[in-house]
Homo-oligomer: A and B are copies of this chain.
């Protein structure tokens, strides 16, 4: 018998993730603020609930996939929230990208109700959500994770569901992920600007670098976007700004200095100041080219 899964938040990521749960035979009860996505997922076989509290009444496996920490806080601890009717032994799986500190605080509130909470942010973007190939970085109790692995495996690669550590560790890992991407992306942007301004074709540089130690997924995928000047999102810069704010707060909380990431954040600020927050975040690599007036 498969679990009944509650799913809250049917945005760009949540919708395809919910559909993959249905495809894998899970019974699904959904809630979201907008009517359209709910209707779509109900048409695909889900049931709809009136509130997060209703979801918690009807299921003991509850996924949240929301824009930011305050949204998760509201859905869990707000009026008609999950905590109002959470059943003991339930597992709440927050797959949003939020501050590690918020994740730890909410996990403590869930635990006080005799239930478990996992922070389980993802990487892989909309494509990964649609294809069911997300990487999932999990913080929280390992035995709670074991009970929901089949659920997570419906949305991500089974071998990429990684238990990182205690509550909040999944969000720390996601922060590391966003930090590393930012530094790599800025460096690729600087390299392409150097090439262009030196009269060298950056596509040749990219091809040569892909064969050696400078090779990365960022150089491969975002490098191609930079060469094509194609910034149709993807993952819009305004969401990456939110993620980098989480990164900077986590660095500050941990007293971990990160001078490269601080510069990356400034470059992102310049991109957004230039009115480009709706572009794919890989446009970060163009800020340096703009500074160099190379385009």
Which of A's residues lie within 8 Å of B, judged by CB?
100, 123-125, 135, 137, 157, 160, 162-166, 168-169, 172-173, 175-177, 179-184, 186-188, 190-195, 197-201, 204-205, 207-209, 211-219, 221, 247, 250-251, 253-261, 263-264, 266-267, 288, 291-292, 294
Known: A173-B195, A254-B197, A260-B186. A135 touches B207 (CB 8 A): no
| In the complex, chain B residues whose CB is within 8 Å of the CB of A160 | 208, 211-212
A168 to B197, CA, bound (A): 13
> Contacts A217-B212, A219-B180; is A200 near B165 (CB within 8 Å)?
yes
A32 CB to nearest B CB, Å: 26
Nearest Cβ in chain B — how far from A137, in angstroms? 5
CB distance from A286 to the nearest CB of B (A): 13
Is A190 in contact with B137, judged by CB distance below 8 angstroms? no
Q: Which residues of B contact A258 (CB under 8 A)?
A: 190, 193-194, 288
A175: chain B residues within 8 A (beta carbon): 194
Q: Across the interface, do A209 and B164 meet the contact criterion of CB distance under 8 Å?
A: no
A252 to B258: give the CA distance in the assembly, Å: 25
Q: Are A212 and B177 in contact (CB under 8 A)?
A: yes
User: Given contacts A184-B216, A218-B213, are A204 and B135 in contact (CB under 8 A)?
Assistant: no
Give the 3 A-B residue pairs with the shortest CB-CB distance, closest first: A183-B187, A216-B216, A176-B191
Which one of B165, B180, B188, B250 contacts A188 once the chains associate, using CB atoms below 8 Å?
Answer: B180
- Asked whether A184 lies within 8 Å of B187 as measured between CB atoms, the reply is yes
Cα A264 to Cα B253 with chains together (Å): 23
Smallest beta-carbon distance A27→chain B, Å: 29
Contact B212 A169 (CB under 8 A): no
